[in-house]
Amino acid sequence: MTAQEIIQQILPMPIQNIAISLYNTNLYRKRHAGIYASMREFYENCSRLSASEIHAEQQRKLAAFLKYATESSAWYAPCKGLELKDFPILEKRDVMENLDRIATIKESQAIVNLTGGTTGSSMKVLYTHADMQERFALIDTFRATYGYSLGKRVAWFSGKNLIQERDLTRGTFFRDDHINHIRFFSTFHISEKNFDAYWRALTEFDPEYIVGITTCVYDLCRMALERNLEFKGHLKAYFSTAETVLDVQKEVLEKTFGCPLVDQYASSEGAPFIFQCLHGSMHIHPLSGIFEVIDENMRPAREGEILVTSFTTHGTPLIRYRIKDRIRLAPDDFACSCGSCFPVVEHIDGRSTDFVLSVDGGRIASGNISNCTKGVEGIQCFQLLQERHDEVTVKMVCSNRFDTLQEAKFTNALHQRLGADMKIVIVRVPEIPRERSGKFRILKNSMAI
Ligand SMILES: [Zn+2]
């Protein structure tokens, strides 16, 4: 049993809340240490720079980052040139199989980030503390344009499994961080049956901001509108994380909450950022990294797959990293009315909006399911198929490291998300075909909608 599981299963809820508050406070202290304050100041001031000053600073950061990678990473040591085109494309598979050569620091010095990639295989990257501090300086500067700062009341709908069986019978689907004024809601149990308890807890808490996985929060809002309920509170903004936001989701969330839905693009492996401005455009942040848009023949394009080079990945340098997302750039002559010279993206595609239903009807997003591979060895990729409300089939491509112990870890993680009564059928296959569009779908649900 992990320390977190012991806390969740043994301690009474008020003590759990204290533990969560202290854990978070420590986490924020680390994120806000070191270069955080100077980076916050830098990013707040960079909105005043001209387009040519931004370009010059971007090129300076790029050159410094490429130089650092060739000097510090065994993987990049053979790259002689100092221009981006001199560097090879980095595939996800490269990161999974050669992390020890790509990474510039030891795991013991790093913030280790395990991510369930969107193709269903687990991936690990190592961050330096300074990179993490700079990333939070970027995110916090972006959120501050909407009035947010740490300490304001925030409802957080994350993919973490926060609660236990006994909470389900009590109808308590959240935990409170009283120090930082955050209420963490479980996203795994949003359903018709539990709607009233969720709505009451959200209304009572009266947050100024909500941060969430939109597929899940959308469901809550849809149920609220069916009941003719609109949120009566003091919400200023809803920050979306982790996936593409559909127009229908944006419409329903904004109607229910009476505040703007604010979108961003980021990834846990450390991609550069795209942030939504106050005028509704999605702007690439040119000082967080480089987005190269390419067509099927790997030539520069306005619309297509992206290769990202991220300036905040000194621990595991991502240079021309093929992240498997796609974007469409706005025309060059498009000028956003906010006045920013940062490039505008018209459309982002790739973060899946697929989901499966848990036994009690909760929608589980693909991001939550792909997390099931965290810490499990031997999974190359998998696809989960649902045709019945109480059964799922998981097609898996595995190496021989995926033994009975690893399988038990994986199915346990699935049961936590889908419910203990969900029947899980594992089928090993040599390969899983992609969709006609070329996209790999981790979830296929033929019973929803
Ligand atoms: Zn703008």
Q: 194 CA to middle of ligand 1, Å?
A: 39
Same structural domain for residues 389 and 306?
Answer: no
CA of 27 to the centre of ligand 1 (A): 31
Ligand 1 centroid–CA 342 distance in Å is 8
Q: Do 193 and 219 reside in the same domain of the chain? A: yes
- Say how many Å lie between the CA of residue 304 and the centre of ligand 1: 22
Give burial (CB, 10 Å; 0-12/13-18/19+) of 326.
middle
Together in a domain, 344 and 369? no
Query: Same domain, yes or no, for 47 and 89?
Result: yes
Same domain, 370 and 410: yes
Contact 29, 179 (CB under 8 A): no
In this structure, the number of other CB atoms found within 10 A of the CB of residue 337 comes to: 10
Tell me which H or E stretch contains 123.
strand 122-127
Cβ distance 198 to 220 under 8 Å?
yes
Contact 70, 288 (CB under 8 A): no
In 159-302, beta strands by DSSP E: 174-177, 182-186, 209-213, 237-241, 261-262, 264-265, 274-276, 282-284, 289-294
Instruction: Say yes or no: 310 and 439 in one domain.
Output: no
Q: How far, in Å, from the CA of 182 to the mean position of ligand 1?
A: 29
| Ligand 1 center to 273 CA (angstroms) | 14
Query: Kindly report the CA angle at 125 between 90 and 155, in degrees rounded to 5?
Result: 120
Which residue reads 């981006």 in tokens?
A: 84
Cα distances (Å, whole numbers) of residue 280 to 6, 245, 252, 275, 336? 44, 13, 17, 10, 9
> Which residues are registered as beta bridge partners of 212?
157, 240
Residue 448 has a pLDDT of 47
Q: Any idea what the CATH number is for the domain that residue 374 is in? A: 3.30.300.30
Separation of 271 CA from ligand 1 center, angstroms?
21
Q: Which residue do the tokens 């959308």 mark? A: 218
434-444-257 Cα angle (round to 5): 120
152 alpha carbon – ligand 1 mean position (Å):
25
Could you say which of 317, 349, 381 is where a domain stops? Answer: 349
- How many angstroms is it from 341 CA to the middle of ligand 1? 8
Q: How much distance in Å is there from the Cα of 340 to the middle of ligand 1?
A: 6
Best CA proximity match to 396, nearest among 362, 373, 368, 363: 373
Q: How many CB atoms lie within 10 A of CB 314?
A: 22
Among 259, 292, 326, the domain boundary falls at 259
Tell me what pLDDT residue 350 has.
Answer: 61
How far does residue 176's CA lie from ligand 1's centre (Å)? Answer: 35
428 and 293, same domain (yes or no): no
Cα(345) to ligand 1 centroid in Å equals 10
Residue 141 Cα to ligand 1 middle (Å): 15
**How does DSSP assign 16-67, residue by residue?**
HHHHHHHHHHHHHHHHTSTTHHHHHHHHHHGGGS-HHHHHHHHHHHHHHHHH
**Considering all CA atoms of the chain, what is the largest pairwise distance in Å, rounded to the nearest integer?**
63
Q: What are phi and psi of 154, to 5 degrees?
A: -125, 130
CA distance 281 to 346: 8
Q: Report how far ligand 1's centroid is from the alpha carbon of 343 (Å).
A: 9
Domain final residue, candidates 228, 259, 290: 259
How confident is the chain (449 residues) per 10-residue block, as mean pLDDT? Answer: 65 83 86 93 92 96 96 93 90 91 95 69 87 96 95 87 76 89 88 90 96 84 88 93 75 93 88 95 96 91 93 97 89 92 87 72 76 82 89 91 93 92 94 62 71
Which DSSP string corresponds to 64-108? HHHHHHHHH-TTTTT----SGGGSPPBPHHHHHH-HHHH-SS-GG
pLDDT of residue 352: 44
Helices (H) and strands (E) in the chain, counts: 13, 21
Report the number of distinct structural domains present in the chain.
3
Q: In the prediction, which pLDDT does 437 show?
A: 46
Q: What Cα–Cα distance (Å) separates residue 336 from each residue in 102, 296, 344, 388? A: 38, 29, 8, 47
Asked whether residue 378 falls in the same domain as residue 419, the answer is yes
Distance 231 CA to ligand 1 centre (A): 28
| Residues 155 and 252 grouped into a single domain | yes
DSSP secondary-structure letter at 150? Answer: B
Q: Are 131 and 104 in contact (CB under 8 A)?
A: no
Ligand 1 centroid–CA 281 distance in Å is: 5
Say how many Å lie between the CA of residue 240 and the centre of ligand 1: 17
pLDDT at 438: 46
Range of 292's domain?
36-141+265-349
By residue count, the chain amounts to 449
Residues 223 and 281 in one domain: no
Contact indicator for 272, 284 with CB cutoff of 8 Å: yes
Expressed in angstroms and rounded, the spacing between residue 289 Cα and the centre of ligand 1 is 18
CA of 280 to the centre of ligand 1 (A): 6
Which of 59-65's residues contact partners 24+ apart within 8 Å by CB, and which partners? 61/287, 61/311, 62/290, 62/309, 62/311, 65/309, 65/311, 65/314, 65/317, 65/319
Expressed in angstroms and rounded, the spacing between residue 409 Cα and the centre of ligand 1 is 45
Confirm if 208 and 224 have CB atoms less than 8 A apart. Answer: no
What CATH number is associated with residue 174? 3.40.50
Q: How far apart are the CA of 439 and the centre of ligand 1, in A?
A: 30
pLDDT at residue number 29:
86
Note the pLDDT of residue 390: 92
Cα of 38 from ligand 1 centre, angstroms:
24
Are 219 and 290 part of one and the same domain?
Answer: no
Query: What's the pLDDT score for residue 278?
Result: 95
Residues 345 and 367 in one domain: no
